[in-house]
C-alpha cells in the first residue's frame, strides 16, 4: 500500500505578495512587476467588505498592449480580474489543482484566517511539487 504525503497550498505558495491599489495606472503596475520580478499583483480591497483583485501580465498584454491603449492612461481596476479565487493555506494541493483547472486559472491568492493575503500559488508550483512527491514505479 502506497502512502501519499499531504502537501498543502502553504507548502508551495510564494510568500511574498506584492499589492497595488486599483486606481494606480497600468504603467505603475508594470514598473512594480519589473522591479519585484513578479508576473502578478494583488489588487487591494477598498474596505473589509470588498474582494481582492488580481492583475496578471496576460491582462496587461491582452487588454492594454494588444488593444493599443496607453498604460499611463489605464487604471488597474479597468483590466484586473475580480473577485479572485482564494484558497486556504492548509488545503491539499490535489484539491487546489482541481479548482484551478476547473475554472481555467493559472494561479490563486492564498489567504489566512482573517482574509489577509498570505501568498500566491500557481498551477505550475503545485504540479511540479506533486510530481516530485509521487513514488517511483
**What CATH number has the domain bearing residue 77?**
3.10.580.10
Cis, peptide link before residue 131, omega less than 30° from 0: no
Q: 17 is in which domain, residue-wise? A: 9-133
- Cβ-proximal residues to 6 (8 Å cutoff; 6+ apart), any chain: 92
Residue 32 in any domain: the answer is: yes
Task: Specify the length of the chain in residues.
Answer: 137
- Cβ-proximal residues to 22 (8 Å cutoff; 6+ apart), any chain: 43, 44, 46, 53, 75, 76, 77, 80
Residue 49 in any domain: the answer is: yes
Into how many domains does the chain fold? Answer: 1
Residue 98 in any domain: the answer is: yes
pLDDT for position 103? 96
- Tell whether pTM > 0.75: yes
Residue 43 in any domain: the answer is: yes
pLDDT at 4 over 50: yes
The more confident residue out of 110 and 114 is: 110
Amino acid at each position: 500500500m502506497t502512502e501519499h504525503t499531504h502537501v498543502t497550498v502553504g507548502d508551495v505558495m510564494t510568500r511574498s505578495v506584492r499589492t497595488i491599489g486599483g486606481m494606480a495606472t497600468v504603467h505603475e503596475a508594470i514598473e512594480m512587476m519589473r522591479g519585484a520580478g513578479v508576473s502578478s499583483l494583488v489588487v487591494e480591497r477598498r474596505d473589509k467588505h470588498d474582494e481582492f483583485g488580481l492583475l496578471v501580465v496576460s491582462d496587461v498584454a491582452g487588454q492594454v498592449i494588444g488593444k493599443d491603449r496607453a498604460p499611463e492612461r489605464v487604471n488597474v481596476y479597468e483590466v484586473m480580474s475580480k473577485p479572485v479565487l482564494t484558497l486556504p493555506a492548509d488545503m491539499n494541493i490535489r484539491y487546489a489543482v482541481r479548482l484551478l483547472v476547473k475554472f481555467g486559472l493559472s494561479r490563486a491568492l492564498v489567504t489566512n484566517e482573517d482574509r489577509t493575503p498570505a501568498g500566491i500559488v500557481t498551477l505550475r508550483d503545485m504540479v511540479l511539487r506533486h510530481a516530485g512527491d509521487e513514488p517511483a514505479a
